[in-house]
Amino acid sequence: MSEGVIDLRRLDLAPGAGARADVDVPLDPITLGGQRYEPEPPEVDARIDVASSGSGLGLRLRFAASLRGPCQRCLAPSALDVVVDAREFQASGRGEADEPDEDLDCEYLSGPTRMELDVAAWARDAVAEVLPMSVLCREECAGLCARCGADLNAGPCDCTDDEGDPRWAALAELRERLGGDEGAPE
């Protein structure tokens, strides 16, 4: 077996039985928004629960991981802790020759009897599913100035807003022609 793949046949599951396996799973770096986030450590201790029933196999993957990379607002180093609790199902009696069905097949199982579990691929995808929309150094990160690139977390920059954004010029002209700026946003 390759690294990150376990053979579920070794668990010797009888129908109606369950088993638990604790495994070391390698985690690959994740690219999010063009930025690379490295897992620390690069291997996590994961728990896999397998339950066998007449209808199929229920699979559960649990672990915690930490990712390190740049803040998406200010590019400062950031750390993000994630907790994974993922579940999959594989229906009984389905082989590799059957047309794939996302409701009946676990995409991480392969082999002639669909009993080889690619835990590394499942862990990678499970981490990606629990990531927030933005990875930040802190929740209140102010980011960088769009004009000069100064770190606004350190304080305000020296940029002035004399000219304004030229994309809004047409609306400014319309506001002047209509003769009012009461209640107009700044």
Going from the C-alpha of 47 to that of each of 30, 60, 81, 103, 128, the distances in angstroms are 21, 8, 17, 23, 18
Rounded distance between C-alpha atoms, residue 76 and residue 136, angstroms: 9
What average pLDDT does this structure show over 94-110? Answer: 79
Token readout for 25 is: 């799973």
Close Cβ partners of 159 (under 8 Å, ≥ 6 residues apart): 145, 147, 148, 150
Single out the residue of 10, 9, 42 nearest to residue 120, CA to CA.
42
What average pLDDT does this structure show over 96-112? Answer: 79
Average pLDDT, the chain: 87
- Residue identified by tokens 């998406």 is 72
Q: What is the pTM of this model?
A: 0.75
93 pLDDT above the threshold of 80:
no
Q: What is the pLDDT of residues 32-55, one digit of tens each?
A: 888 999 999 899 999 999 999 888
Question: Residue 171: is it exposed, middle or buried by C-beta count within 10 angstroms (0-12/13-18/19+)?
Answer: exposed
82 pLDDT above the threshold of 70:
yes
1 pLDDT above the threshold of 50:
no
